[in-house]
Amino acid sequence: MIVMKFGGTSVEDAAAIERSCSIVAERVSRRPFVVVSALGGATNGLLEAGALAARGEVRKATAIANALERRHAELLPSAAEHFVRLRELLKALSAIGEFSFRTQDLIASYGEALSSLIFTDRLKRMGFEAIHLDARQCMITDDNFGKASPLMDRTTARLEEMASPHRCAGRVVVMGGYIGSTTSGTTTTLGRGGSDYSAAIVGATLMTADPRIVSGASKVKEISFDEASELAYFGAKVLHPLTVLPAVEKNIPVYILNSKKPKGSGTRITREARPCRNVIKSIAYKRGITVVTVSSSRMLMAHGFLKALFEVFDRHRTSVDMVATSEVSVSLTLDNVSSLNAIVEDLRPLGDVEVASTMTLICLVGSNLKYTPGVARRAFSSISDINILMVSHGASNINFSFIVDEKDTDAAIQKLHADFFHEIDPEVFEPPG
């Protein structure tokens, strides 16, 4: 059995869906279980429509819904029916005037609910026996709306009950990723980018070996689970961090393939990294990072300060990615700034708060880092003309991260790349082209 996951760009339009269905078709003998994301951009559109409606801007919200309807109905005419309900929901939202996590999940669920129906329909029209599984009946989660966690026992039982008979009968099973429901049937989502997680859960519950997670592209032929998890944060578009976990636990090999280059060998994620002549496997970066610095002389020798500080971020459900502390100040990086103003207000009692936005987090990842001295010196000397605002090294011995101003991103990446990859180990890397 294989699990094949197709991300938003792999199902963004008729041509992409066609291509992705052909990739499935070539592997029917391996009894594929297909997990799909919403059509590229659909989740963003749905959430934007919901937010607008809740602000009373029903006309704009409806316009987005109508555009989404056209995209979906072109691929599957019966999709139009779902939009009747969606527009009603948007109206209701404008009356209520708020957009809770619970309602966000309900609105966002239209994306995967529809893309999975579209994919199933396309496979059937290609002549395959395909069956649609409603993820809300198998992916059972807690009620942490916005980022729910699957209840593994129940999910395993449901998936087995609902998918196994079809798989035994040789049907291709198609399910939407990202969405699920609570035990009482309320729609939930696993958090943005969660379709990979859905796929990994299906893999971990139904498989004995060899899931393939089909999504993005890469020129690295092989990376370890650890390296992949470090990179996942940066390449969240390609691989959801949590994906790695169910697979690691079961020692199941995972492949990342590019649906636009179906013949490519992709990247294999292995349990252990094999020795590589390059010190680092990848340079990852993330733009749009915000650095928050809290300085307080009260912090000197005081205990409980960091706890109070992190509690603020916890309260606003904002995750902190990198932390550096000195005797009297703490700097933290965020990429989700939706609650930034409220966070800053809550931090003020702790000390002076400074916010620097439009920063870039650069990260060198590779399991050789831990054996190789002088990586920091080498990295910093290749970008000696660029200002480095914050550094983190050691917390994980396979990653070395630092912050630069966003305007320096390209120059820094190019210089680091030229330095670390002027020769590549052919065992681990596929030459570009």
Site residues (vs ligand ASP, CB under 6 A):
7-8, 37-38, 43, 111, 177-178, 192-196
Q: Least distance to ligand ASP from the beta carbon of 276, Å?
A: 30
Burial 163-178 (b: 16+ CB within 10 A, else e): beebbeeebbbbbbbb
Q: Smaller CB distance to ligand ASP: residue 112 or 408?
A: 112
Q: Least distance to Mg ion from the beta carbon of 234, Å?
A: 13
Q: Look at residue 194 and give the partner it binds from Mg ion, ligand ASP, none, a contact being a CB closer than 5 to 8 Å depending on partner kind.
A: ligand ASP
Site residues (vs Mg ion, CB under 5 A):
7, 193
CB atoms within 10 A of CB 93: 25
Q: Smaller CB distance to Mg ion: residue 220 or 404?
A: 220
Q: Look at residue 211 and give the partner it binds from ligand ASP, Mg ion, none, a contact being a CB closer than 5 to 8 Å depending on partner kind.
A: none
Q: Smaller CB distance to ligand ASP: residue 238 or 291?
A: 238
Q: Smaller CB distance to Mg ion: residue 7 or 203?
A: 7
* DSSP assignment of 299-356: GTT-SSHHHHHHHHHHHTT----EEEE-SSEEEEEES--TTHHHHHHHHGGGSEEEEE
Q: Look at residue 178 and give the partner it binds from Mg ion, ligand ASP, none, a contact being a CB closer than 5 to 8 Å depending on partner kind.
A: ligand ASP
Q: Look at residue 192 and give the partner it binds from Mg ion, ligand ASP, none, a contact being a CB closer than 5 to 8 Å depending on partner kind.
A: ligand ASP
Supply 80's token pair.
């139009």
Give CA separation, 160 vs 137, 186, 200, 212, 295, in Å.
12, 21, 15, 19, 53
Handedness of CA 312, 396, 203, 128 (dihedral sign): positive
Q: Look at residue 213 and give the partner it binds from ligand ASP, Mg ion, none, a contact being a CB closer than 5 to 8 Å depending on partner kind.
A: none
Q: Least distance to ligand ASP from the beta carbon of 252, Å?
A: 19
Q: Least distance to Mg ion from the beta carbon of 237, Å?
A: 5
- Contact between 420 and 374 under an 8 Å Cβ cutoff? The reply is no
* DSSP assignment of 206-226: H-SS--EEEE---SBSEEEHH
Q: Smaller CB distance to ligand ASP: residue 178 or 305?
A: 178
Supply 112's token pair.
């995967």
Q: Look at residue 27 and give the partner it binds from ligand ASP, Mg ion, none, a contact being a CB closer than 5 to 8 Å depending on partner kind.
A: none
Q: Look at residue 180 and give the partner it binds from ligand ASP, Mg ion, none, a contact being a CB closer than 5 to 8 Å depending on partner kind.
A: none
Q: Least distance to ligand ASP from the beta carbon of 286, Å?
A: 16
CB atoms within 10 A of CB 365: 24
* Polymer length of the chain: 433
Q: Smaller CB distance to Mg ion: residue 238 or 299?
A: 238
Q: Look at residue 115 and give the partner it binds from ligand ASP, Mg ion, none, a contact being a CB closer than 5 to 8 Å depending on partner kind.
A: none
Residue 24 to residue 124: CA distance in whole angstroms: 12
Residue 216 to residue 275: CA distance in whole angstroms: 24
Q: Least distance to ligand ASP from the beta carbon of 214, Å?
A: 13
Q: Least distance to ligand ASP from the beta carbon of 9, Å?
A: 10
Q: Smaller CB distance to ligand ASP: residue 37 or 104?
A: 37
* Ordered strands of the 352-365 beta sheet: 322-325, 329-334, 282-295, 352-365, 399-405, 388-393
Residue type (1 letter), 261:
K
- Contact between 192 and 235 under an 8 Å Cβ cutoff? The reply is no
Q: Least distance to Mg ion from the beta carbon of 193, Å?
A: 5
Q: Smaller CB distance to ligand ASP: residue 5 or 158?
A: 5
